[in-house]
Amino acid sequence: MLMNSNFWSALRHTLAAIVLLAGMGGAAANGQEIDGLQAAEETSSTVTLNWNSYQPSGENIAGYNIYRRAPGGTFRDPVDYVGVRDRENGTTFTDSRLRSGETYEYQIRGRTLSGEEMGRSRTISTTTEESSDGEYSYANLKVAVVIYKNANHRNGGNYQTPDRRVEDVKFYLEKARDFYWRNSNMKLNLELSYYPIEEYKDFGDAGSFESIRITADHLEENFGVVSTQYDFIFRIAPSIGGFFSFGVKDLRFSQGPGRRTGFAHLQWPMDRIRGYTKYPGEFDEQVSKETNQLIWLFIHEAQHTIDAIYKFNGKEEMGHGDHPEAYTNSNPDYRQLPDTLRFGKRFDFQATMLRTFDPDDFASFEDLTGDWGDTYVAKDADEDGFPDQNARLPFDENRFGSSMEATDTDDDGATDKEEATDGLYPYSAGDPEDPDTDGDGRPDGNDPYMRYDVASTIPRAGGLRPTIDGRVGEWEEKGKISQGVSYKTPDVGAFDPTVHGAHVEDSLYVALDIPAHAAPTLNFDLDGDGRWFGTGNTEIRFDVQNQGLAQIRTFDASTEARQFEQQVLNPDRDVRSPDGVWDTNPKYQNEFERVYQPSDIRFDVRRTDGRIGIEMAIPEREERGISFGTGSKIGLRIGYSNVQKNGGNATTFDKWSYVYYTLGESQAAPLEAAEKTKLLENIPNPFQSSTTIRYQTEETGQVEIVVYDILGRRVRTLVDREVQAGKDLQVRWSGNSVGSGMYFVRLRTESGQKDVRKVVHMQ
């Protein structure tokens, strides 16, 4: 029998209603609705939904399942999940990776702790915008921060975390979010949801790997968390020792798709506080300063997990935070790195790994498969790559104070985004309303260091060596290489140190003019290759109270030192690669000569009228790759402690970052030539570990200085190069590799002038 079209139309509607009711689970049975669903914002590839909180009587709603369909289609499996601990109590959701100009229909359904669906919203329809200018895309990873407030302690007994400490954790981890957003060039946002677990949990003697599944069970049983709801979990617990990341693992959630989840952990409280790097900043006194070490621990361990997520998505390795010494283009794993890559310690190399992940446009951060992360779009009216106003992000143009209508608010040649991402930390950024942030007379866009007054060239002294007497007045403006500080703690008032520098062929001169009581520590990268490479990583710390040198040591990161560390110092340590040895290590000194002995550094510290003058001369070490010839590069960073009587700290530059200077041509007086070419008395003589060989030349040209034993055998060549004529030239000789006795030092020039002196070595 033939049926008319009205019959078939009615049948189709009836079947569609049956399918819809079947897909709703318990939604039809309880008849309750989720109110207020609306599309709050659409872009060309995202739709943001808002709805009202839903909590039926006698039920515990853990979150919401998100359904999407094409118009006239069917709601099948959820496309995503949110929890009530997410943003806005889980009543907002942004759907991403959509097609522009397309219409989509959405429905929201409640989810109980057991995973059953209960309640539903009306179905709404919305259309994405057509692709247009004025939008900015970025990657978004959702992170569950799990804090065990009451749990067994790994050393016995139980530990209870105060409520106040939980708030401190949130405060500091928000600073860590800022670090990731800033150093990914505003391409990676970590969206944190916090899970303080009030109920006592006992992990027993569970091992590290077993414990991650226990935590997954806690999240599912206590909070109804579903697989893929979070891209990774960061756990803070007293029960499991150490700080680690397990990359991405199958956590065996019973609900949701079978996708792996990232996992990282840190023990809290720590067994010991000392030794773990604090964030180089001071915050409100109401926040526990002890807890600020969580910033570093989160940044470090989370980056392992983030790297694992991208590797799982087919990207190259980001770099390993535990082994910065391996992060170089000479390593076949990292051939994509630039030849000029240099970095310092801690936060600096963590930032470097983010900044070099895709240094051209950072688009790799967004390159994740559909079941990992989200690619969100934010409004960016001036198209400067800096979102205008978006509460989801750590900061935006509105909060930074730059114009949302102009790419370069202060018209100084540096874009607002460049100013916002200039430093590593929340407080280290350019001023978007000041064309010359550091006041050094160079507009920010033409200033390689916009936040501090730095002359990027250290002038050549032309052979006129400054007098090392602690009187820095002779320098005046000559050779000024830095003035001021980029950061100081809140209890520090006016503090404006000046740093001067000059170089000759065989020495680097540095002078500091410091107000108040500040005790400086200077960290040099004297061979210009970064903190984790070579033998130039020298630290010099002064004792201004006693007007002396508190410490000098060099971190030897040469191939030979690393081999020594692995084979002798840590033969049983399972490490990917050793990183180097301080040359103050007694075992190191049994095998190698120290790079610098305290007696090698000529210096003077002088206190005058409430100010401190420090002058020093650092000799080159050609045999250790440290040369101070024109065109060489050196790195420098300076920290100051006890800035005023009541304490306080400051840093000339970002705490862990070097500023690199080029040793340039002369800006000083011409060379004062010696009247005669000869060797001067070496100091000391006799000597035990090392002595300074002093000499002068009346002509510029090739000079050779060689040490011979009493049988006339060549022991060591100290100098074999062109030397500019001058007085009081010097080179160091270490006698650690020779026995006690008398030796002869011979000087010879290319014109035939020569001189010989006796030197006595005593062990």
The DSSP code for 687 is: B
**Taking residues 622-646, what's their average pLDDT?**
90
pLDDT of residue 273: 57
pLDDT band at 735, cuts 50/70/90? confident
Report how far residue 419's alpha carbon sits from residue 388's, in angstroms, rounded to the nearest whole number.
15
Report how far residue 727's alpha carbon sits from residue 464's, in angstroms, rounded to the nearest whole number.
8
Question: What ranges do the domains of the chain cover?
Answer: 23-132, 138-355, 385-446, 453-666, 678-761
**Taking residues 31-56, what's their average pLDDT?**
91
Question: Cis link prior to 619 (omega < 30° from 0)?
Answer: no
What are the residue ranges of helices labelled H in 458-603?
559-564, 586-591
Highest mean pLDDT among 18-22, 348-352, 546-550: 348-352
**Phi, psi at residue 221, to the nearest 5°?**
-75, -40
Higher pLDDT among residues 494 and 197, named by residue = 197
Report how far residue 334's alpha carbon sits from residue 277's, in angstroms, rounded to the nearest whole number.
27
**Taking residues 459-480, what's their average pLDDT?**
79
Lowest-pLDDT range, 156-170, 534-548, 727-741? 727-741
pLDDT band at 734, cuts 50/70/90? confident
Strand partners, 500: 480, 511
The owner of tokens 């000041």 is 434
Residue 281 confidence (pLDDT) above 90? no
Report how far residue 380's alpha carbon sits from residue 276's, in angstroms, rounded to the nearest whole number.
39
pLDDT band at 338, cuts 50/70/90? confident
pLDDT tens digits for range 551-567 = 999 999 998 998 888 88
pLDDT band at 575, cuts 50/70/90? low
Question: Cis link prior to 432 (omega < 30° from 0)?
Answer: no
> Smallest Cα–Cα separation from 64: which of 124, 116, 125, 142?
116
The topology under which CATH files domain 678-761 is Immunoglobulin-like (2.60.40)
Beta-sheet pairing, 659-666 with 457-460: parallel
pLDDT tens digits for range 292-310 = 888 999 999 999 999 999 9
> Smallest Cα–Cα separation from 266: which of 290, 287, 296?
296
pLDDT of residue 274: 58
pLDDT of residue 736: 67
pLDDT of residue 456: 86
Report how far residue 157's alpha carbon sits from residue 324's, in angstroms, rounded to the nearest whole number.
38
Residue 666 confidence (pLDDT) above 90? no
pLDDT band at 261, cuts 50/70/90? very high
Alpha-carbon Rg of the chain, whole angstroms? 32
Residue 417 confidence (pLDDT) above 50? yes
Nearby residues of 195 by Cβ (< 8 Å), 6 or more positions away: 85, 144, 145, 146, 147, 219, 223
pLDDT band at 275, cuts 50/70/90? low
CATH of range 453-666; options 3.30.420.40, 2.60.40.1190, 3.40.190.10, 2.40.50.100: 2.60.40.1190
pLDDT of residue 608: 84
pLDDT band at 239, cuts 50/70/90? very high
Residue 29 confidence (pLDDT) above 80? no
pLDDT band at 597, cuts 50/70/90? very high
pLDDT of residue 65: 97
pLDDT tens digits for range 140-179 = 999 999 999 999 999 899 999 888 889 999 999 999 999 9
State the CATH class of domain 23-132. Answer: mainly beta
Tell me how far the alpha carbon of residue 477 is from its chain's centroid: 34
Residue 583 confidence (pLDDT) above 50? yes
CATH architecture group of domain 138-355:
3-Layer(aba) Sandwich (3.40)
Residue 18 confidence (pLDDT) above 60? no
Report how far residue 516's alpha carbon sits from residue 453's, in angstroms, rounded to the nearest whole number.
20
Percent of the chain with pLDDT over 90: 57
pLDDT of residue 332: 86
pLDDT tens digits for range 116-145 = 999 999 999 999 999 888 999 999 999 999
pLDDT band at 9, cuts 50/70/90? very low
pLDDT band at 712, cuts 50/70/90? confident
Helix/strand/coil percent split, the chain, to 5: 20, 35, 45
Mean pLDDT of all residues belonging to the chain: 87
Contact 438, 449 (CB under 8 A): yes
pLDDT of residue 291: 82
pLDDT of residue 672: 59
Lowest-pLDDT range, 368-372, 393-397, 562-566, 617-621? 562-566
Domains 23-132 and 678-761 share a fold: yes
Report how far residue 594's alpha carbon sits from residue 249's, in angstroms, rounded to the nearest whole number.
46
**Taking residues 110-115, what's their average pLDDT?**
94
pLDDT of residue 761: 87
Please state at what angle helix 293-312 crosses helix 163-183, rounded to 10 degrees: 50
Higher pLDDT among residues 763 and 451, named by residue = 451
pLDDT tens digits for range 356-391 = 998 888 889 999 999 999 999 999 999 999 999 999
Q: How many CB atoms lie within 10 A of CB 507?
A: 20
pLDDT of residue 576: 53
pLDDT of residue 68: 97
Tell me how far the alpha carbon of residue 630 is from its chain's centroid: 31
Residue 5 confidence (pLDDT) above 90? no
pLDDT band at 276, cuts 50/70/90? low
pLDDT band at 646, cuts 50/70/90? confident
Please tell me the pTM assigned to this model: 0.83
